[in-house]
Structure 1
Amino acid sequence: MTTFRVKEIWRYPVKSMQGERLEETVLGKGGIPFDRGWALRDATDTITSAKKIAALLHCKARYLEGTNAGTVPHVEITLPDGSAVRSDDGDVHARLTKALGEDVTLWPLQPAEDSEHYRTKVKPSSPEELEAGLREMFAVEPGEPLPDLAAIPPALLAEVSEYASPRGTYFDLYPVNVLTEASLRHFEKLTPESTLDVRRFRPNFLLEDDEELSALAEFDWTGKKIGLGAAELDVDIECMRCVMTTRAQEAPGLAPLPRDSNIMRTLVRETGHNLSVYANVAKPGVVKVGDEVKV
């Protein structure tokens, strides 16, 4: 039987910016502590991401120990030109706006009760406009199907139809994302001309195996529990992939990844848009790099 282990643990201090690797974490009901603890809002005061502002992926963020921004620590952001700005700097909004070419403000996580903070301020005015927006978000070309949104639990789908993220979080849908190297190997065979990297898929946990598998291994775990160290996850659905997987990434100090629309063409054709799985935390606990995964 194949043995899977935790190879990498990832946390993303600012939604859609480059993340930071951890050696261990205390996984809680809300996922990895302070994951997506900050996000940007656009000129309409709606939470935004690299789905709309691609340059976010050219920025890096890290937490500043010993600081307090209320719900989360402060962050330091390295901008595309290599300069740095802190979330508690007086000119942080202006510098981010200049670096990204969009009018933005930086926000720490707000209480779930603050519905207006999370509400999407500008909504499609017709079914046709809604479909056009979804096609842009998922980088779907004419003639290609949209992902199967019916896979999302109805209550959660209703939540993210009204709000930019589930209230009280800056996640797209779920608090935890799990990806196996087996899936990356499989996908590399499907698109050998592409430059693949775990950073394109932004998981919380990257899992290695002892057999050099080439398969969408984690898809078989949907509807099951998996143990990571002392924690347990309820694996719920496959992760629907969007335009972010195709974006260029050129953050300071990191190997550049080119823009590559072929990644989405392959996802649509071969995996039904999906790669990796979403999960909720069933049992909190410590997870370390090297921990065995139990299905």
Structure 2
Amino acid sequence: MRRVGKIKELWRYPVSSVTGERLDEVSVSATGMEGDRRYALVDAETGIVAHPERDKRWQKAVFVKSRTAPSGAIEVHVPDREWLHVEAPGLIAALTAFFEFPVEVRPYERSAATVEATSFAVGRYDVSPLHLLTSASVDHLKSLHPAGNPDRRRFRPNIFMDAESDVTGFAELGWIHKPIRLGDLDGTVIAPTKRCGFTIIAQKGLENDPEILRNVMKFGARNMGVYCAPDATGVLKVGDAVWLL
């Protein structure tokens, strides 16, 4: 068993495609983080879920925020507006004004809970219970593109791991199919994370930078970070050690 790092940050995205919330600890299960990707932005006229990497109309989504209130309710913040409950009457109007086309927030509880209202996004995240990214990968990308800023927020990990000094390069790409321990929780690294145009989109403090994706494609075969599947239910905390078994 080899210690490869420790959990530096935990991120949850209650509404997919928008900026999520940073946590100190979170419950997880075989299907991923509790409360992750519960809702999605949708084009109200077509019913198509937001894809900022494919459709420029959605690229402003990174300036919208989502969080989980103490009550468990999901809240959304549109720039220059107050936080609104996901079912608040004014949220649709605020989103539509911000994006300049009709936008709704619809529930998405993974395919296990699919009903007519959620079928538009069935299976979108089923392959990816937990997305792990190491500081080694971010540092390596910075060395390949010194003028750029490969901030971890570009890659939207659930777990951002501070790597041990002997973990270098796109190290986690070599962990596929290997057992991993996150704190007290065992699991398996199941797949590499294939990157898309979302990584280059401008957001707060970060400029649009196509070289980010070009270097991931050239040196990582378009992959950076990995997906992990927990074996059981447990709690992850910032500071938990990460072991490769």
Distance 1:244 1:106, change over 3 A: same
Query: Is it true that 1:204 corresponds to 2:151 in the alignment?
Result: no
Partner of 2:134: 180
Partner of 1:55: 60
Residue aligned with 1:235, SS: strand
Alpha carbon RMSD of aligned pairs, Å?
1.9
Distance 1:248 1:208, change over 3 A: same
Query: Is it true that 1:64 corresponds to 2:66 in the alignment?
Result: no
When normalised by structure 2's length, the TM-score is: 0.89
Q: Using the alignment, how far apart are the partners of 1:92 and 1:189 within structure 2?
A: 42
Aligned match for 2:182, one of 220, 228, 237? 228
Deviations 1:91-121 (A, max 9, x none): 21121111122311111235633266324xx
Q: Using the alignment, how far apart are the partners of 2:227 and 2:116 within structure 1?
A: 24
Structure 1, gaps ≥5 residues long: 67-72, 120-163, 251-255
Partner of 1:26: 27
Query: Is it true that 1:17 corresponds to 2:22 in the alignment?
Result: no
In the alignment, is the contact (CA less than 8 A) between 2:31 and 2:126 conserved in 1?
Answer: no
1:12 aligned partner, one-letter code: Y
Partner of 2:101: 102
Query: Is it true that 1:84 corresponds to 2:83 in the alignment?
Result: yes
Structure 2, gaps ≥5 residues long: none
Query: Is it true that 1:275 corresponds to 2:224 in the alignment?
Result: yes
User: Pairwise mapping of residues 226-265 of structure 1 onto structure 2 (< 5 A)?
Assistant: 226-250=180-204, 256-265=205-214
2:105 aligned partner, one-letter code: L
In the alignment, is the contact (CA less than 8 A) between 2:108 and 2:118 conserved in 1?
Answer: no
Deviations 1:208-237 (A, max 9, x none): 123174311111210111011121222111
In the alignment, is the contact (CA less than 8 A) between 2:3 and 2:242 conserved in 1?
Answer: no
Deviating beyond 4 angstroms after TM superposition, the runs of 4 or more aligned structure 1 residues are: none
Residue aligned with 2:165, SS: coil
**What is the aligned length?**
237
Residue aligned with 1:200, SS: helix
Query: Is it true that 1:218 corresponds to 2:172 in the alignment?
Result: yes
Residue aligned with 2:15, SS: coil
In the alignment, is the contact (CA less than 8 A) between 1:74 and 1:88 conserved in 2?
Answer: no
Q: Using the alignment, how far apart are the partners of 2:207 and 2:126 within structure 1?
A: 24
Partner of 1:45: 47
Q: Using the alignment, how far apart are the partners of 1:236 and 1:24 within structure 2?
A: 23
Q: Using the alignment, how far apart are the partners of 1:79 and 1:116 within structure 2?
A: 23
Q: Shift of residue 10 of structure 1?
A: 0.8
Partner of 1:140: none
Q: Shift of residue 283 of structure 1?
A: 2.4
Deviations 1:152-199 (A, max 9, x none): xxxxxxxxxxxx441xxx627412101110111111101111112110
